[in-house]
Every structure is written in structure tokens, then in C-alpha cells.
Chain A
Amino acid sequence: MSVSLLKKPQMHFGAITFFAKQHKDDVCGSNGLPLTPNSIIIYGRAQILKTIVNPYLCRYLDIIRGKHERTIAVSQYCGKPLSSFIEKSVFSFTDIKRIAYQVLQGLKELHSRNIVHHNLSSENILYENGNIKLFNYGLYYMTDNGKLVSFPIVQLLYTAPEVYLEEFKEIIANPKVDIWSLGIILAELTLNKLLWSSLILGQRIRKVLSLVQSTTSVFERIAREHNCYDRYQAIPADLKEIIEVCLNIYSEDRPTAAELLEKGIFDEFQVQKTDWLSLLKMYEIFTISELYYWWQLTGGDVLQELKRQGLIRSSPPILSLPHLVLIEGTILGQDRNPATLYDPKIVEMPMETLYERFKNISFSCYYPLIQTKSEIIAQSEPEPYDATGLPLVIKEKDPEYQFHRVILLRRLLHGYPFTRDLIVKEAEKDIPPLFRGDIWSALLNVRGDYERQYAKIDKATPTPTDRQIEVDIPRCHQYNELLSSMEGHKKLKRILKAWVNQNTQYVYWQGLDSLTAPFLYLNFNDEAKAFSCLSKFVPKYLHNFFLKDNSAVIEEYLAKFSQLIAFHDPVLANHLYEINFYPQLFAIPWFLTLFSHVFPLHKILHLWDKVLLGNSSFSLHIGLSVLTQLRDRLLNSGFNECILLFSDLPEVDIEKCVILSAETFQKTPGSITHREYENEEFKKTGELDISGVTLQDLKKERCPRISVSDLLELIRNSPDKAIVVDIRNITQFNRCSVRDSINIPFSSVCFSENKIENVGHHSNVLKDNLDKIVVVVGDEETDLELFPTFLLNCNVKFVCVLHGGFNILLPISPTILASQNHIS
């Protein structure tokens, strides 16, 4: 059945675990802040390993940080260790050549990325169906050449003699140590003998070191010591030569992996240039990393599995308490917990639950139909998995739903940019967490050559802003493991420097770091993409917010925010107005960082999922929804309490917030949040749109303006959603007015008291208004501030003023105007 698609032999994974070195005592870094725990540094360094995709390397899937500095590395694991085949005479010399070729291919890939295996042995080369994969090759790299762990990363017999000689002081990785290890492995394979298997620990080290003194061929010496000289002589000359050259005592005489691959012996394995099929990169419907994601969703828990299979042994903490702790931090009487020693055991993860869970997914679900014009074909598609109406957090945890989303979106992303419209459509439903980074960059229209563009930017030369960046980074979302790692700091700094370098019209404002954080978090292994998302994001959503003098932009934004509150929630707006609690006092960091400085990352992600689909006014609605959640407390608080409340914003329910802001966004005509300082590229500038409102005027008006085009839209398409209040005098009204509008002559209203009854017999319509938009229409002779403000003070909702006054309606065709005289 279809589940067999999941059951490929390569699609299995395993995990190893180890402890990072604990920092001694309480030391601080050079910046005066506490040192980053080593496990976090490892976590950051290891991320890049996940990007290595090579047929001869087990793919890294996940790095997990446990309690008390534990690190777990999850990676592909398939086949059996090569060591289990030795002494069984299963390999012909051709097999051995192929193994050598494949190992070298793997090493070449690693070495080209400046990664040294340092841990190569026949134990962690996995063999299956004639092919090999290197396993656990990242341990040395992720632990910063072994500096972050207390155990040495060596494979006794396979480690090159210079490693031992250097003792533990080695600070620079030398790729040639892997070539030596390969030589030993090949020697084992060709001689079909486990080397020095009877020796104990110390003797083995001594043995390796003794090779240094040998003046003849090391390989020959090994063969003689194992009484295999006959076999040694039977080895084909070309293979023998390879082994001899690998086992040179001086690394200078050992070729690099790339050089070795050039040798004629490997010609038969080289991919032929004419073999087009193998050169083409095939599209895979899913890879092991997606499978791992589903596995986790179906309840796979690496930590539990390690415990179950005995790799994590926990001894009760009460038995290992220290006896005495001195004031300077010296701990006495606490023995080293034996469970923290390094155990290179690998634990395989069971896949049964996943298979069981996915067994009913039909074959065609793996190949979703994306575009068809035929109804009949479309109907033959299986019913979509129904998750509508479920809360987002549930959808994100639902394995079947995520299966369908991942299959579909992986395909769509593969087709980007041609499938952008489809991606947007899917993103409106929800965004699967696994692909959030890619989907976001698709929504932001990131271009294909972003990597090249980024490479061109100078991120190294010091600039005057460096100091501020340096100060901000160690304070930016540091609860997050990625962002608090050294690697994270380095990347964030590079991105910020690149941004400053590219945006000379702007200055670096504090907050830009928080703004970058979500992009970096999602694209941790693709700095260029994070940068490019940021560079697309800022002009669209925060246009000119980072000007050296951004006061006008911010002021306008905040004034609009006040108006939006007044539009949707007059009661709250009036209360805040009365106690003089202006948005200037609390909302600047909200909008300047689009809430990325306010909320923790996991909340920002959900929030921005929606932001990226909306326009730059969406964050006003988010601000409104935050206030709405705190409404009761705000209404019952005075100025001081409000200030205190916002100084440390209470927990906000982000799902509610997203829904609410989407609702108000939907309901609010676009021109209500029209801003003069919006990016021209995204601004509507038709004749019937708002333009030319000065900041001074804007700040005076408590109710927002609406554009003619929005009014027309309302009246033509949903007349029951609007109440047009004409405040000109009755003669003018009777002569010509908007159809179905009501007339409350400006002069007839007494504004001394905030009582809605003062407007006369139309008061009930306004008073009972629940969801209609109240458009106030006047002309030059009427006061277009006093009246709407009066309505606002009477707590009438959705009050807005027609921009341009009544006269602008006259030339509209087809007209919406009528003469009352004529009707009556």
C-alpha cells in the first residue's frame, strides 16, 4: 500500500547523545555578561550540519538540547556498521574500491565545508546494499574541534598519530587526519582483519604512536604484524598504493580527498558526464527531514526513546547532591555522575507508530493535483483532509493534516516563483511550521539571486554602528537557543551590518535586531535569505520608520492608531483620551518592531503569518486587538496603572489576537488607515483616494477619514452596511444628497452635552448602530471635526468622515445622489 512509500530503507534515523563541558565557577565573558552555556554553542554550530545533503553522508535531522547540558544529535541511520563485516570475507577488492571511493566522496564534501570528521572508523561507516554512508561526522565540528566537551573525540586505532602527539591542545582541524583513518579502514578491509583487536587501551595508543618511528611502509608493517603478508601481496597494486599513500606518517605526503579521487583507480565509479539522468536532480515528494517531522508529530520523542533504550540513565538526583558548597562556588563532595560520561552508542528510532498512523493515506495524496481545468479529474481527487475550524495550534500538531500540507507546499515551493499565487492562497489557510521560512520569503517576493546579492555586501569592515549592534545582540530574544548561541550572534551581527551597509538612507535603530530575529530564526542556515526577507519586509511594512528623523512617520502612524481605536471602540478611546494615555506612551516599540520586541518568538511567528498577507496597516489592527484583550483592565485603570500595565505587558493570547485583528482588518475600509507616509509603491493614489492630509490636521481629528472610493464601494455593494449622515443644512440636503442618507443639520445640534438624543429624531438609528459604518458627509460650511467628535463622545461606533466633503460626490458616475424634493 501507500505506506510503503514511507518505508524506504534509507528513511530511518537514530540518535547519539553526549554532555557538553560545564563552565567552571562563575566567569563572565568579555562583555560582562554570563558565558553562553557550551551546549548552546554546540546547538548553534550544529545547525549548519542539517544542510549537508550527500548520498554518502547520513543526513543530520535535528539537534536537541536536554537538561543539564545534554545534547542529542538525530540523524539518518540506515544499514550496518562496516566493522560488522570485517573478518567475514564478504568484500571483493572491487567492493573495497567502491567503499574507498564513496568514503572519499563523503570526505571531500565535508572538507570543502571546512568540516573535519576526526572520528572516522569502520564503526561509523554504515553499509547497505553496496553503498556506504558516513555517520556521526559532525561531532568534532559541532563541539568546536572538541573544545566544548570534556571527552576526546578520537577513534583509538583509526586516529592519526599526530592527533595523539598534539595531546589535547589541537586548536585547528586538519582534514588529513581523516585520510589516515581511511587508510586504516582500508587496511582492515583488504587484510580482512580487525587490527590489534587483542590489545587494551594503553597498548593501542602506544601502537599507533609507535608507527611514527617506522621507516618502511606502514601498511606493510601492519600486514606483517597481523600475519597477513600473503594477503597483503595479493592486493591489487593500485589499491595498495592508495592505502600506502593514506598511511603516510607525514601529512604532507598524504593527498587530500579531492586529489585521491582524481586517481585512475576510481575512474569506473565516476559519474559519466553523458549520463544525464544521474546528473539531473530528481524531485522527491518528501525527504527524510519531512519524515522526521511527521514522526515527531505522531508522538515520536527522541528523549523518551533514549531513556527507554537505556542510553539516558538517570540516577536519582538526591543521591548525587554535593555535601558542601563554599561561598566562592567551590563544590565539595559531589562525585562525577557516571551517567554523564560519553557513550557513543546509537539508538535507532522505531517507526511503527508513524506507519500505523499513516497507513490509510491513499496513494494519490502523495501526488496532489495542483492545477487542472477538468472538473472530472478534479472530482476524482480524494476529499481534502478537513481541519477547518480547528485552532491553529491543533492544526500544527495534527500529523495527517501536516502530512497533506507538507506534501502540497513542498511541491508549490519547488515551483516558486511561478506558483507564488498558489502559495499565497495556501498561506491564507495556514502556514505549515516546517516550511515557514520558505513560505515567508515567497510571500515577501524574495528573488532567486538573493545569495549572490548578499555575498556582495561588505559585512566585515567596521562601522560606527557596530558598537550599538554589539550591545543589542546579547539582549535580543536570548531565551531562544538559536539566537543565544555564538553562531546566532555572529549571524545576526552580519545581517544587521549588511542592512546598515545597504540602507544608507536609514540609521540603525534599536529594535532592528528584534525585527531581524524571526527571519534569522526561520532561516538560520540561510543568512542570505534572512537578510533578503528583512530587506523586503522593511520597505513594505515599516517604510521610513528607520529614518534618522522618523518622528513624522511615527506620529502619523500613532495618530492613525488613535483613530482606529476610536473607530472600533469609542468607549475605550474616550477613556484613554480622558486619562491622557496616548499611544506615544506605549505603542512606539510595538509598531517600530512590529511587535517583535514585545512577544516571544513563537507568538511572533503566528502573528506575522497574517501580517505578511496584509498590508502595512495590519499592525495597527494587532495593536487594537492587544488593547481589546486588556480592555477591562484599561477601563478600570487610571494613568499610572496603565503605564505600569504596559511597562511589562501581560501575557496576551496570540491566537485570539490574530483572529481579532484579522476581523477588524476585514471590516475596516482600507482608506480608514490611509497614511501619507506609506510607501508609494503600495499606496493607492487615485483621484478618489485620500491625499494631502497634513500631519497637523490628522493629529487634530479624532475620527478617521474615509475615501470616496471606499464610500462608493460600500453604498453600491452593501448599502445595509453604511449609514450616511449628511450634516449640511436641510435645504442643501433636500436639493441633492446621497440616496438613503439621513440629514442631521450641523446647526441643529447642541454640542454642550454628550447626549446622542441631541441630534434629534435620528438619534435612535445612531444609538442602536452595532456594525454599520457611519459616514459623516459635510461641506466647507460645516465643521467636520466637532460633529464626528461629538458622535464619538456619545460612544457611537464606526464613525468616519468623508474626505473631500460632499462636493466630491457630484461628478461621480453612475451617481449615488438623489434629490429629496423629487422623491417627496
Chain B
Amino acid sequence: MARPKESFLYKNMSYNFEHLIEIPFEDSIDELTHILMSKHGIPRYVEEELLEDLARFVKERTVEYNDQRVMNLINGAKDNKINIEEITKKWEKVLKEEVTEYGEQRCASDNELFATAYHKMVHSPALETMLQLEHMYSQTVRQKAKEKNQLIQEMSERQSKEMNSAVDRLEKDMTESQINGLVARHYEDHALLQGKLNSELDTIKEAQRREYREWLMQMLEQNQTTSSLPTPNSPLTPMPIESIIPSVNFNNGVANVPVLEESFTIHLGSQLKQMHNIRILSANVMDLCSVDDSRQSSEPTPQILQTALALYSNDLSGLVLMADNKIGSRMTKEFQDICDRTTEFHFSHLEDQFNKISNMSLGYLKRDSQSNNRNSHSELLQAGDFYVTRHSNLAQVHVIFHMVSDDSLRGTNINSRHPIILGLRNILKTACSNDITSLTIPLLLQYDMTEEMTVSWCEKRAELVFKCVKGFMIEMASWGGSDLKNLQFMLPQGISNQVFQSLTEMLPRIFKVSNPKILK
């Protein structure tokens, strides 16, 4: 067994003094000599003698100390007091877990292989073809979805007509029970159709995903031999562009709301200055996720390009969304819809990701509800927890942090110890240790405009978030991960100009804004 340090008494007979020395001795014997000499008024000329004597003392005691320790161990083993078998197992385990040589020879997973392939291809001339293909796949899905909606709508119309006429005839030849039967039938038909169409859509997506991945791997192979780029031909890729019915752009009005935004370059640190980019903007947070498909063009939007290039890089971009304690609840419906709009070629479907997280959290919280020190012993998530989903089909982000929040956020008296703020710190830490270098945070900790958002409420909340985030960023420098290069503070869409102004004026007061370079 390991033993703590032990003190030995050093006695010097010739000069008649004693000193306690701890073994193992870690300081300089030379210095100890001088300290002892001045303490006991020992003449200079014995310096060498004393030094030698002390050094010998320390050396001998150290050897003795170590040998004693080993002796105890070996004797223990010889007398079978120590369980050799158990020790061997322990060592085996540690070595297998920690050293590559003894660890399981693990092949790269499917995902890793695909990631490497994709990353390689996306940084090659094939990029354009790939994006084109992805875009066409997505057009197909959209088209299909539209058809689905149309069919459903048609059916609804037909049904309501039928219902109307039935109701009209109520007095004549229809009985109430017949109508009830009709309602039930309608409902059934509706559900049936919807289910059928949904599963059709899922099938298409699944097929697309498989085909895309195969195509990519195949392309990689071919690319290594020749440099030509094949394009796949299949019914899943897209129909001619003309056939896409130009849709009326009802979204236009919203898209044209002027986006309020302002950017800053700030530096942190008193001596060594670290630069960061900060932006405040007011927009619909879903604009960061949803790929603008209003234009119906054959070309993918340029934002996608950037996102695709960085997907497997060490510069990921993340977004904090607010959620409630039920994973995948209706609160995130809009987000889920956006994710489902196109095929996810890289990661599991959102629903599957949610399910996995659900199981994981349930498993953990159930198992450890006694042992862990969470406030509530509930099996639900609580405010400040967050779960992470990853995406390849969103416009500007790869990673979504779903922060669990509660109603306390609406209040005015939240402080820096509020769970959401602590959660924010964990998010920054996760970002830092996982190479997420761009992050978007709701400045008011929510994305929707609500009643209580008065000017002073907004200012107070923004100040808190600014200050806390600043503190976390300073802390971050010592976490040894990657730096946060871009930080976006998001304000709800439609916030008043006045509030926006006052918040952009507040930022330079809290963060130190870098000097502009002025050319002279």
C-alpha cells in the first residue's frame, strides 16, 4: 500500500542540533543546509561537511523508506494477502481501456467512413455536383410533400362537401347515427390517406438516403481512378425542372421584413487580448434552420455550401433552441417540420435522435435518481439541462442545443445562478470541447415576443446574458478547447427599433470593442 510521507529526525552530533526531515524529500538539500546553518549559527567552514552529511542522511532514509514499502508489498503477496488474480484483472482492464496497443482493434464505423468520404468529396470539384444532387433530391421530397398536402386537402374538401350535403339532408333522409358513421368514415379515410402518404414519403427519403450514400462512395472510388464524375440516374432523382409547378410565393411578405443586425469585434483579456466576433440580430430563429425554398430554382442556395463544407470540419456551428422538459414536444413542432422537409443524408432522423435521447435520459434519471444530487427527484429533465441533435439539412447550423426551460424565465428577477444561465455555461463548455466555433444564443433567452417584454425587461435580461456570457468566454480560455470565433445574439423577430438600439449600445459597454484601424 502507498504510504504517506514520513518524518525522520536528523541529529547532528558535532553541532548538536536536530531537524525533522520529510521523506521523500523534494526540496533542495543545498538550500536546507543554508537554512539550518543560519538557524543554528553554524560556522561557514562546515558548510560542505554538513551538506554531505545531510545528503547522505536523506539518501539513506529514502532508500530505506522505499525498500520498506516494497517489502511490505511483496510479503503481502507471498502470504497471499493480496489477491493476485484481482490485481491482474484490474491491470488488464485499465490497459485495454487506455492503451491503443491492447485496446480492441476497432474499425472505423460506417459513419466515420462516410464522413471521411463526404468531407473529401465536398472539398473537391465534385462539390457542385453533390450539392446539385442533394438539391434535386430535396426538390423531389418537397414536390412529394406538396402532392401529399394537395391530396389531403382535396380529400378534406370532398369530405366536407359530402358532410355538408349530408347535414342538409339531415331532416330528410339522414339520421344522426348515419352522420356519425360518416364522420367516423371520413376520419378513418383521412388518417389512412395521411398514413399512406407519410409512409410513401418516408420510403422515398430512406431510398434517397441509401442511394445518395452509395452514390457518394462509388463516386469516391471512381474519383480516385478517373477524375470524371458520374451522376446517378434513378427515379428518385428528380424530374425535369419544368414540371415543378411554380408556387405562389406567400412567404414573400415576411421575408422582406428588414433584418436588424449589427456586428462587433471584441477583445477579452487584460494583457493578452483574444478577438471574437459578436453579432446582434433580430430575426426569426427558424431562418437559420430553414433552407429558403421559395425561389424554386434549380440551384441550391449558397448558404448550404458553407454549411456542407464545414459539416465534418473542426468549425461547427451551433444554435441554442428553447424546449420544454418533454423531449420532442410540440414546442419544437416548427423545427421538426423544417427538419422533415428534406432528406437527412448523414444522421438519424430527428425523431430517432429524440427517441435515443429520451431513452438515455430515462435510463440515467431512473437509475440514479437516488444517488445524483439533482434538485427534484423526478425522472423528467429540468431547466438548464440540454440535449443535442445534429443535422446536415439545415441552412446555417449543424448542431442544435435544445435547452430545457421553464416559466421562471418570464419573470424579471432571474440572476446569474439561474439554471438556464448555468445551462448556457454548459453549452459554451460543450461547444468549446467539441469544436463548435460559431454559436447562436437567444439574447433574451427566448425567441418569441411576449407580453412582459417591456423595454426595461429586455435591457435587464440582455445585460444579464451579456455579462454572464462574457464571464464564461473568459473562463473558456482556460478550458483548452477551441475558441468561440463567432457568437450571435438573437433577438425575437419584430422587436422594436428602440430596444434593438439600446441593446447594441449596451454591448460595447460590457465587451471591450476593438479599435477600428484608421488609415491615415
A binding-site residues for B, Cβ under 8 Å = 34, 37, 39-40, 65, 67-69, 114, 150-152, 156, 161-162, 164-172, 174-176, 201-202, 205-206, 209-210, 212-213, 249-252, 256, 314-333, 336, 338, 341-344, 455-461, 477-480, 484, 597-601, 632-633, 648, 650-651
Known: A326-B385, A460-B27. 18 other contacts (CB 8 A): A37-B479, A162-B70, A166-B1, A166-B73, A172-B69, A174-B66, A174-B69, A176-B66, A314-B314, A315-B115, A317-B435, A324-B387, A327-B374, A327-B383, A333-B356, A455-B31, A477-B271, A648-B512
CB distance from B483 to the nearest CB of A (A): 10
**Contact for B477 among A330, A456, A479, CB less than 8 A:** A479
Q: Are A341 and B26 in contact (CB under 8 A)?
A: no
Q: Are B357 and A251 in contact (CB under 8 A)?
A: no
Residues of chain A with a CB closer than 8 A to B361's CB: 324, 332
Binds A, one of B94-102, B162-170, B251-259: B94-102
**Contact for A164 among B34, B91, B518, CB less than 8 A:** B91
Q: Are B74 and A250 in contact (CB under 8 A)?
A: yes
Q: Are B481 and A67 in contact (CB under 8 A)?
A: yes
**Contact for A209 among B70, B77, B314, CB less than 8 A:** B77
Q: A212-B74, A324-B387, A458-B38 are in contact. Are A206 and B84 (CB under 8 A)?
A: yes
Q: Are B360 and A324 in contact (CB under 8 A)?
A: yes
Residues of chain A with a CB closer than 8 A to B87's CB: 164-165, 167, 205, 209
* B195 part of interface (Cβ distance < 8 Å): no
* B172 part of interface (Cβ distance < 8 Å): no
Residues of chain B with a CB closer than 8 A to A206's CB: 84, 88
Residues of chain A with a CB closer than 8 A to B479's CB: 37
Q: A152-B95, A202-B92, A650-B515 are in contact. Are A213 and B360 (CB under 8 A)?
A: no
* B497 part of interface (Cβ distance < 8 Å): no
Residue of B with least CB distance to A169:
B2
* B24 part of interface (Cβ distance < 8 Å): yes
Question: Can you sample 21 A-B contacts with CB below 8 Å?
Answer: A68-B481, A152-B95, A162-B73, A166-B2, A210-B84, A212-B74, A249-B74, A250-B71, A250-B74, A316-B313, A316-B314, A317-B314, A317-B435, A324-B361, A325-B387, A326-B381, A328-B372, A341-B98, A342-B100, A343-B100, A458-B34
* B181 part of interface (Cβ distance < 8 Å): no
Q: Considering the chains assembled together, what is the distance between the CA atoms of A184 and B434 in angstroms?
A: 44
Q: A165-B73, A169-B2, A651-B267 are in contact. Are A342 and B99 (CB under 8 A)?
A: yes
* B234 part of interface (Cβ distance < 8 Å): no
Q: Considering the chains assembled together, what is the distance between the CA atoms of A402 and B269 in angstroms?
A: 32
Q: Considering the chains assembled together, what is the distance between the CA atoms of A651 and B430 in angstroms?
A: 30
Residues of chain A with a CB closer than 8 A to B3's CB: 172
**Contact for B482 among A67, A256, A651, CB less than 8 A:** A67
Residue of A with least CB distance to B96:
A201
Q: Considering the chains assembled together, what is the distance between the CA atoms of A598 and B27 in angstroms?
A: 34
Q: Are B82 and A251 in contact (CB under 8 A)?
A: no
Q: Considering the chains assembled together, what is the distance between the CA atoms of A162 and B65 in angstroms?
A: 14
* B121 part of interface (Cβ distance < 8 Å): no
Q: What DSSP secondary structure best describes chain A's contact surface?
A: loop
What are the 5 tightest A-B residue pairs by CB atom distance, in nearest-first order? A327-B384, A151-B98, A316-B312, A252-B67, A600-B272
Residues of chain A with a CB closer than 8 A to B385's CB: 324-327
Q: Are B106 and A456 in contact (CB under 8 A)?
A: no
Q: Are A37 and B92 in contact (CB under 8 A)?
A: no
B binding-site residues for A, Cβ under 8 Å = 1-3, 24, 26-28, 30-31, 34-35, 38, 63, 65-67, 69-71, 73-74, 76-78, 82, 84, 87-92, 94-103, 106, 111-112, 115, 119, 267, 269-273, 311-314, 316, 353, 356-357, 360-361, 364, 372-374, 381-388, 390, 398-399, 419, 422-423, 426-427, 430, 433-436, 475, 477-482, 512, 514-515, 518
Q: Are A315 and B112 in contact (CB under 8 A)?
A: yes
Q: A318-B398, A319-B112, A455-B34 are in contact. Are A150 and B71 (CB under 8 A)?
A: no
Residue of A with least CB distance to B31:
A455
Residues of chain B with a CB closer than 8 A to A460's CB: 27, 31, 35
Residues of chain B with a CB closer than 8 A to A39's CB: 480
Which of A40, A317, A461, A480 gathers the greatest number of chain B CB atoms within 10 Å?
Answer: A317
Q: Are A34 and B478 in contact (CB under 8 A)?
A: yes
Q: Are B100 and A322 in contact (CB under 8 A)?
A: no
Residues of chain B with a CB closer than 8 A to A479's CB: 269, 271-272, 477
Residues of chain A with a CB closer than 8 A to B480's CB: 37, 39-40, 65, 67-69
Q: Are B70 and A343 in contact (CB under 8 A)?
A: no
Residues of chain B with a CB closer than 8 A to A344's CB: 99, 101
Q: Are A328 and B96 in contact (CB under 8 A)?
A: no
CB distance from B79 to the nearest CB of A (A): 11
Which of B35, B106, B372 gathers the greatest number of chain A CB atoms within 10 Å?
Answer: B35
Q: A165-B77, A256-B63 are in contact. Are A316 and B356 (CB under 8 A)?
A: no
Residue of A with least CB distance to B82:
A165
Residues of chain B with a CB closer than 8 A to A329's CB: 426
Q: Are A455 and B28 in contact (CB under 8 A)?
A: yes
Residue of B with least CB distance to A33:
B478
CB distance from B514 to the nearest CB of A (A): 7
Residue of A with least CB distance to B32:
A460
Residue of A with least CB distance to B275:
A651
Q: Are A172 and B66 in contact (CB under 8 A)?
A: yes
Residue of B with least CB distance to A452:
B30
Q: Are B1 and A648 in contact (CB under 8 A)?
A: no
Q: Are B95 and A212 in contact (CB under 8 A)?
A: no
Q: Are A213 and B88 in contact (CB under 8 A)?
A: no
Q: Considering the chains assembled together, what is the distance between the CA atoms of A341 and B30 in angstroms?
A: 41
Q: A209-B87, A648-B270 are in contact. Are A328 and B311 (CB under 8 A)?
A: no
Q: Are B115 and A319 in contact (CB under 8 A)?
A: yes
**Contact for A327 among B1, B63, B398, B422, CB less than 8 A:** B422
**Contact for B434 among A40, A169, A317, A324, CB less than 8 A:** A317
Q: Considering the chains assembled together, what is the distance between the CA atoms of A345 and B27 in angstroms?
A: 34
Q: Are B73 and A456 in contact (CB under 8 A)?
A: no
Q: A67-B481, A600-B271 are in contact. Are A114 and B35 (CB under 8 A)?
A: no
Q: Are A651 and B360 in contact (CB under 8 A)?
A: no
Residue of B with least CB distance to A316:
B312
Q: Considering the chains assembled together, what is the distance between the CA atoms of A209 and B77 in angstroms?
A: 9
Residues of chain A with a CB closer than 8 A to B384's CB: 327
Q: Considering the chains assembled together, what is the distance between the CA atoms of A176 and B95 in angstroms?
A: 23
Residues of chain B with a CB closer than 8 A to A169's CB: 1-2
Q: A319-B112, A325-B388, A327-B423 are in contact. Are A338 and B103 (CB under 8 A)?
A: yes
**Contact for B67 among A164, A166, A251, A321, CB less than 8 A:** A251
Which of A210, A251, A455, A650 gathers the greatest number of chain B CB atoms within 10 Å?
Answer: A251
Residues of chain A with a CB closer than 8 A to B106's CB: 338
Q: A213-B78, A651-B514 are in contact. Are A325 and B398 (CB under 8 A)?
A: no
Residues of chain A with a CB closer than 8 A to B311's CB: 316, 318
Q: Are B99 and A341 in contact (CB under 8 A)?
A: yes
Q: Considering the chains assembled together, what is the distance between the CA atoms of A614 and B101 in angstroms?
A: 58
CB distance from A516 to the nearest CB of B (A): 15
CB distance from A525 to the nearest CB of B (A): 14
Q: Considering the chains assembled together, what is the distance between the CA atoms of A343 and B82 in angstroms?
A: 31
Residue of B with least CB distance to A36:
B478
**Contact for A68 among B65, B271, B313, B433, CB less than 8 A:** B433
Q: Considering the chains assembled together, what is the distance between the CA atoms of A174 and B106 in angstroms?
A: 36
Residues of chain B with a CB closer than 8 A to A201's CB: 92, 95-96, 102
Residues of chain B with a CB closer than 8 A to A167's CB: 87, 90-91
Q: Considering the chains assembled together, what is the distance between the CA atoms of A459 and B101 in angstroms?
A: 46
Q: Are A322 and B430 in contact (CB under 8 A)?
A: yes
Q: Are A205 and B71 in contact (CB under 8 A)?
A: no
